[in-house]
Chains A and B, each alone.
Chain A
Amino acid sequence: MDVENMYYHGRINVPYKWYVGATGSRFLVGLRDGKEFWGITCPKCGKVYVPPLKTCPECFVPNEEWVRLADTGTVESFTVAHYSNGVSPSDIPYVLGLIKMDGADGSFLHYIGDADPADVKVGMRVKAVFADERTGNIMDIKHFAPVNE
Chain B
Amino acid sequence: MEKVGIVGVGQTIYERRKTDTFAELVFEACTSALADAGIGIQDIDNVVTVSNDFWDGRTISSMAIQDAAGAWEKDVSTVEGDGIFGALYGMMRTLSGSFDTTLIVSHVKGSEGNMNLITNAMFDPIYQRHLGVDATTSAALQARAYMEKTGATEEDFARVSVKNHGNGVNNPFAQIRKKISLEDVLNSRKISEPLKLYDCSPISDGAAAIVLSNEKGLARFKKDPVWILGVGHCSDSYSLGYRDLTFPRALQAAAGKAFASAGIKNPLKELDVAEIADAYSYMELIWYEGFGFAAEGAGADLIRSGATAMDGALPVNPSGGLLSAHPVLVAGLARIVEATLQLRGEAGDRQVKGAKKALAHGINGPCGQSHGVFVLGA
Q: Give me the interface of A with B, judged by CB distance under 8 Å.
A: 5, 10, 12, 16, 18, 20, 24, 28, 49, 51, 53, 57-58, 76-89, 96-98, 106-111, 122, 137-139
Contacts and interface: CB of A to CB of B under 8 A. Distances in A.
B193 A77 contact: no
B368 to A, nearest CB: 15
A120 B190 CA distance: 16
Contacts of A76: 145
A122 B191 contact: no
A16 B125 CA distance: 10
Interface in B167-203: 189-195
A109 B129 CA distance: 10
B144 A87 contact: no
B190 to A, nearest CB: 5
B126 A122 contact: no
Return the 5 tightest CB-CB contacts between A and B, nearest first: A88-B132, A85-B116, A79-B140, A87-B132, A57-B237
Interface of B: 19, 57, 114, 116-117, 120, 125-134, 137, 140-145, 148, 189-195, 237-242, 245
Contacts of B132: 84-89, 96
Given A79-B141, A80-B192, A137-B130, 9 more contacts: A16-B125, A57-B239, A79-B194, A80-B190, A85-B117, A86-B116, A96-B133, A122-B144, A138-B127
25 contacts: A5-B19, A20-B126, A51-B127, A57-B237, A77-B141, A77-B142, A79-B137, A79-B143, A79-B144, A80-B192, A81-B192, A84-B132, A85-B134, A87-B120, A87-B129, A87-B130, A88-B132, A88-B133, A96-B131, A96-B132, A109-B131, A122-B144, A137-B126, A138-B127, A138-B130
Contacts of B140: 79, 81, 96
Given A20-B126, A81-B192, A83-B192, A106 B242 contact: yes
Given A57-B238, A96-B137, A12 B57 contact: yes
Contacts of A83: 116, 191-192
Nearest to B139: A79
B131 A24 contact: no
Contacts of B114: 85-86
B128 A109 contact: yes
Nearest to A121: B148
Contacts of B190: 80, 82
A77 B148 contact: yes
A77 B242 contact: no
A54 B114 CA distance: 32
B122 to A, nearest CB: 12
B270 to A, nearest CB: 33
B21 to A, nearest CB: 11
Contact of B242 (A57, A88, A122): A57
B19 A81 contact: no
